[in-house]
Amino acid sequence: MSAERRFQSQRLPAESENATATLDVYFHVVYANETYEGGYVPDSQIHDQVKVLNQDYNSTGISFNLVNISRIQSEDMFLRVAPDSEQEAGLKKVFRHGNASALNVYTVGLAEGDGQGLLGYATFPMDFAEKPLNDGVVLLYSTMPGSSQPKYNLGRTLVHESGHWMGLYHTFQGGCTGSGDEVDDTPPEESAAYGCPEKRDTCPGGGPDPIHNFMDYTDDSCMTGFTKGQAKRLKAQLRTYRGVDV
Ligand code: ARG
Ligand code: ZN
Ligand code: CA
């Protein structure tokens, strides 16, 4: 709530509803060995992943330009990069590229420690000022389009994590009470939805749960979009904290 109050007081005025911007993207592939299971994803999968980003963000006016793919061999980092781990700090301080508006994506194995079981995680725009080197998205390599992982192999994990990186919360943030995800046109939701539970409705009023929204937890194939309100919020966050002219 204090982050939200700060945002509302610092928020820069809107440009126009139809403003667009292109963000630079830097991919960092961390691998244990040169096999797919070792995290050595082919360039083609990264290009496909950026295509998915561009398609899924098309309605928001944000597009993505892949600038570089770097490859980093480290079994320790592949296995152990996790939120606030020493391996994460070591990786990001050497490889993070660009200013606040550059999206850095680190693909890793999320196999051990606090990262175990995660599909990905991201930093928020507001945190850039204090910890610029920590900024970016950490992504489980096998969530990229075309991997054999069931349910999460259409590349929507990066769409979701990039949503956080642009200041969006989960649709179930705050449950049924209060201002929820701070977006007016996403109905409130009591908890995360998994699979694709059509007609789920967990909160009184507001309508059925937004299970098709990229910021819920449903299967990749269930997710279809962002709302206008989310597009508006992410642009305001990009303007205010990432210096993007949008
Ligand atoms: N932050 C979530 C996790 O790590 C990501 C959910 C992504 N959902 C998806 N369908 N790809 O579990
Ligand atoms: Zn999330
Ligand atoms: Ca909402």
- Going from the Cα of 34 to the center of ligand 1, the distance in angstroms, rounded, reads 26
Which ligand is in closest contact with the Cα of 143? Answer: 1
In this prediction, residue 19 carries a pLDDT of: 93
In this prediction, residue 15 carries a pLDDT of: 81
Q: Please state, in angstroms and rounded to a whole number, the distance separating the CA atoms of residues 244 and 153.
A: 30
Which residues keep their CB under 5 angstroms from ion ligand 3? 180-181, 183, 186
Structure tokens at 17: 């509803």
In this prediction, residue 1 carries a pLDDT of: 87
In this prediction, residue 151 carries a pLDDT of: 96
Pairing of strands 62-73, 120-122: unpaired
For ligand 1, what atom is nearest to the CA of residue 143? Answer: 11
- Going from the Cα of 7 to the center of ligand 1, the distance in angstroms, rounded, reads 25
In this prediction, residue 183 carries a pLDDT of: 97
Domains recognised in the chain with CATH numbers = 20-168 (3.40.390.10), 170-225 (no CATH)
- Going from the Cα of 113 to the center of ligand 2, the distance in angstroms, rounded, reads 18
For ligand 1, what atom is nearest to the CA of residue 151? Answer: 10
Active centre residues (catalytic)? 161
Which of 138, 160, 223 is the best mutation target for the ligand 1 pocket, counting ligand atoms within 8 Å of the beta carbon and taking the most? 160
Which ligand is in closest contact with the Cα of 165? Answer: 2
- Going from the Cα of 210 to the center of ligand 3, the distance in angstroms, rounded, reads 9
In this prediction, residue 210 carries a pLDDT of: 98
Minimum CA distance residue for ligand 1 atom 9: 157
Looking at residue 210, its amino acid is: P
For ligand 1, what atom is nearest to the CA of residue 223? Answer: 10
Which positions of the chain have pLDDT values less than 70? Answer: none
Is the minimum distance from the CB of 119 to ligand 1 under 6 angstroms? yes
Is the minimum distance from the CB of 120 to ligand 1 under 6 angstroms? yes
**The tokens 């292109």 sit on which residue?**
22
